[in-house]
Amino acid sequence: MKFLDAEFVQGFIRMAKDGWEQGWHERNGGNLSYRVKPEEVVSVEENFEKKEWQPIGTFVPKLAGEYFLVTGSGKFFRNVAIKPEDSICMIELDGSGENYRIVWGLVNGGRPTSELPSHLMNHEVKKNATNGKYRVIYHAHPANIIALTFVMPLNDTVFTRELWEMATECPVVFPSGIGVVPWMVPGGKEIAVATSKLMERYDVAVWAHHGLFAAGEDFDLTFGLMHTVEKSAEILVKVLSMDQGKRQTIKVQEFRDLAKAFGVELPEEFLYEKLYVKKD
């Protein structure tokens, strides 16, 4: 099978294109990775041209020997659908989980995303936490969620509660809540470690003044999670810009009723009583 004809590759390309069309990927902003299934590796391995081993910059032993499809460093999401062979690559990890090598893609040179340590550390966390079900890690720059990091406390509890209130589906889509990482230099091990700690509990984390980081089982669920959080943030930005305060909102007991109806568990720490004052 030709590499670009594989269903998982087409799904990856479609997700990158969808993110670009949402306006989440200015210039070379954002990155995407997918932990490839063994049978998918077999289906495309005839296309492999294995390059030299390179250090990952971190240590992910539980991912040793696995393959990942990732966007390239400095590559533009808008070009993934146009020139996939130049914009993305497939990598293989060695038996120690300390090095990687490109086996397909980036035909004009380059390396995987600069956020590779963050992606792989979080893949390792989610693989362990979900018995291998989670395979997608996605980082984007949605404008509304970034805007909120300048005016809201950088606090998991506050971000979760405010975004839950903006749309009824939010507690159902991300019932475990949202984590918040304070601003850190992107691309290094420090932000990777901070994010992976949050991902032990959450499926999505806000990177203050930078963007959003999400994990999921497949392309649709992960993109849908990112989309839901950003739409909720957009509603909150509009509400705050009206400067009238909330006249009404979803109440604590109503969150509990919603959780019961949809069979999800909402942590009580997010269900604190709030005082709303109507401004006339």
The catalytic residues are 115
Enter the tokens of residue 92.
Answer: 């293989």
Rounded-to-integer distance, Cα 191 and Cα 180, Å:
11
Enter the tokens of residue 273.
Answer: 């009583």
**Residue whose pair of structure tokens reads 């997918």 in the numeric block:** 34
- Rounded to 5 degrees, what are φ and ψ at 26? -60, 140
In three-state secondary structure terms, 268 is helix
Nearest CA to 219 among 3, 29, 18?
Answer: 18
Nearest CA to 60 among 2, 3, 1, 137?
Answer: 137
